[in-house]
Amino acid sequence: MRLRATRILALFLAGAAAVSTVTAGPLSPAAATPIPDRAPSSAAESFSAAPAVFWRGSWAAAQQPLNPNVPGWARQGFANQSVRQVVRLTVGGTMVRVRLSNLYGSTPLRLTGATIARTASGAAVKRGSQRNLTFTSRQWAQIPAGRELDSDPLRMSTTAKEKLTVTLYFARRTGPTTYHSQAMAHSYRAEGDHRVDPGGGAYTRTAANWYYLTRIDVRGVQAQPRNGVVALGDSLTDGARSTRNADNRYPDQLAERLINNGTPRPVLNAGISSNRLLTKSPCGGESATARFRRDVVLQPGTRTVIVLVGTNDIRQQAGSTRCAQGAPRITAQRLIDGHRYLIRWAHERGLKAVGATLPPCSCIGSNETIRTQLNQWIRRTAGTSSGYDALADFDRALANPNRPNTLRPAYDSGDHVHPNDTGYHRMAQAVPLTRL
């Protein structure tokens, strides 16, 4: 069995560029190493179906290293500035904590102070709802390079679909940031310390990234099952070209569908635009295989992962664009072996794995052949011992019946690769709720 796991890894990495590893103590992303033929020994990576009172991820954004070719706040960093970021929870609780990340920082990150509040509109928050976040009972924090840090638990009742605003104030210059490049939502910046302002008047600048903020967890007073869902993927999971500030990414819509179905559960978005399955990307960061442990396995309360990744491996292979740098030639078999590796990762840690077919991307020639062959394998093996536990057939849900390699016009955002809001809603409808 150990030889089989090693062989799977060797096959899909053959001819691929090396996967980067970032040192981050107990939260470091796993390097692409063989999965041991044993039950997980770490309690943090084990699954227990017994209800308990524990933290559950309610919102998340996967972090990535700075793309040095892109100007903006992430590259400049912050100095005597406040950054206000708005997120929407997928489940509520009676307590909350915030996780901040300096995973890709080269120096310690000094946070002067932070608050959390209920969102009003834009950069404004509901008056009287602001609460100071503390870190080991201090209002300031220093996060070493390559590390992440949780705030102290804060008693604060929250509900599913409620929007919260986290404000970070940096008195000292931060340098380039750890961030998430495609928030599909506005972040706000003010000069000086405006973390307790209820109004948004001081926040005169906006950007479409998230900075340092990587997760918000909630906890209740009653026992809850570990039933969280993590959506792992690229821009199709990240919600590229969906309406900003409208929460129309497919994981957002999946969370709403679960709520409307009377079966609410956490849904965390671990998509990164331009992300690849097999190799790192200058635009999309570490490969899905390299970040699987951090972005999926170690998310609290996780039960299921939905995997939608491989489109960029196909479209960017041996390309000349900035984001395609380092992308090797690939085959359908290498992609299949990469997916097998993720399935094994999930099963070794007691997680269910749902395989999503790659939607049409207007690919032609050998690229379309690879996409078709990968999708056929995902469909054929779903529910068997050699494949995913369940199938989310996004390809059939979005395909134009007259031209199967293209998106149905009603679902096309206009670039012939990414869905529009209606298309993302259709993707959420294609996820089999009973198999989660």
Q: How many domains does the chain have?
A: 2
Let me know: does 92 contact 157? Beta carbons within 8 Å. yes
Instruction: Using a pLDDT cut of 70, give the percent of the chain over it.
Output: 88
- Same domain for 209 and 253, yes or no, is no
Where among 170, 186, 216 does a domain terminate? 216
The pLDDT of residue 231 is: 99
pLDDT band at 50 (very low <50, low <70, confident <90, very high): low
pLDDT band at 44 (very low <50, low <70, confident <90, very high): very low
Q: Distance (Å, rounded) from C-alpha 400 to C-alpha 250?
A: 19
Look up tokens 């489940």; give the residue.
91
The pLDDT of residue 49 is: 52
The pLDDT of residue 17 is: 33
Neighbouring residues of 116: CB distance < 8 A, sequence distance ≥ 6: 96, 98, 130, 131, 133, 154, 156, 164, 165, 166, 167
The pLDDT of residue 240 is: 98
Q: Distance (Å, rounded) from C-alpha 122 to C-alpha 119?
A: 8
Average pLDDT over residues 254-270: 97
- Same domain for 166 and 291, yes or no, is no
The pLDDT of residue 210 is: 97
The pLDDT of residue 356 is: 98
Chain centroid to Cα 195, Å, comes to: 26
234, part of any domain: yes
Q: Distance (Å, rounded) from C-alpha 304 to C-alpha 46?
A: 13
- Same domain for 22 and 99, yes or no, is no
- Same domain for 205 and 353, yes or no, is no
Average pLDDT over residues 305-318: 96
- Statement: residue 105 has pLDDT above 60: yes
Q: Distance (Å, rounded) from C-alpha 193 to C-alpha 113?
A: 9
pLDDT band at 51 (very low <50, low <70, confident <90, very high): low
Give per-residue pLDDT as tens, 404-427: 999 999 999 999 999 999 999 999
> What is the model's pTM?
0.90
Beta-bridge partners for 210: 180
The pLDDT of residue 18 is: 32
Average pLDDT over residues 9-35: 33
57, part of any domain: no
Enumerate helices (H) and strands (E) in the chain, giving the number of each.
10, 23
Q: Distance (Å, rounded) from C-alpha 305 to C-alpha 416?
A: 26
- Same domain for 132 and 38, yes or no, is no
Where among 216, 234, 250 does a domain terminate? 216
39, part of any domain: yes
Average pLDDT over residues 233-239: 98
- Same domain for 178 and 299, yes or no, is no
Tokens of 285: 């960061």
Among the ranges given (25-34, 136-145, 225-234, 243-252), the one the predictor scored with the smallest mean pLDDT? 25-34
- Statement: residue 45 has pLDDT above 70: no
61, part of any domain: no
Average pLDDT over residues 203-220: 97
- Same domain for 26 and 153, yes or no, is no
Q: Distance (Å, rounded) from C-alpha 60 to C-alpha 422?
A: 23
Could you list the residue range(s) of the whole structural domain that residue 73 is in? 67-216
Average pLDDT over residues 6-35: 34
- Same domain for 263 and 411, yes or no, is yes
CA 296 to each of CA 47, 89, 346, 351: distance values in angstroms, whole numbers, following the listed order: 13, 18, 9, 10
The pLDDT of residue 319 is: 85
Where among 168, 187, 216 does a domain terminate? 216
Average pLDDT, rounded, for the chain: 90
Give per-residue pLDDT as tens, 324-340: 988 999 999 999 999 99
The pLDDT of residue 48 is: 52
CATH of the domain at 396: 3.40.50.1110
- Statement: residue 219 has pLDDT above 80: yes
